Amino acid sequence: MWSGGWLFADRLARPDERAYAACMNNITLHKGDLPAGLDLGNMIAVDTEAMGLNPSRDALCVVQLSSGDGAAHVVQLGRDFDCPNLKALLADERVLKIFHFARFDVAMMKKWLGITCAPVWCTKIASKLARTYTDRHGLKDVTRELVGLNMDKSQQSSDWGAAELSDQQLQYAASDVLHLHDIRTGLMAMLEREGRVDLAQACFDFLPIRAELDLQGWGETDIFAHS
Band of residue 21 on the pLDDT scale cut at 50, 70, 90: low
Average of per-residue pLDDT values in the chain: 90
Domain boundaries, the chain: 2-218
Global pTM reads 0.88
| Cα 10–chain centre separation | 23
Give pLDDT tens digits for 38-47.
999 999 999 9
Helix (H) / strand (E) element for 170: namely helix 167-175
Is 13 or 135 the better-scoring residue by pLDDT? 135
- Is the distance from CB of 210 to CB of 124 less than 8 angstroms? no
Does pLDDT of 17 surpass 60? no
170 pLDDT more than 50:
yes
Is 59 in contact with 161 (CB distance < 8 Å)?
yes
**pLDDT at residue number 5:** 38
| Distance (Å, whole) CA 144 – CA 108 | 27
pLDDT in tens, 42-70: 999 999 999 999 999 999 999 999 999 99
The dihedrals phi and psi of 193, each to the nearest 5 degrees, come to -60, -40
The answer to whether residue 192 scores a pLDDT higher than 80 is yes
The CATH number for 2-218, chosen from 3.60.20.30, 3.30.1700.10, 3.30.420.10, 1.10.10.10, is: 3.30.420.10
Residue 36 has phi, psi (to 5 degrees) of -65, 140
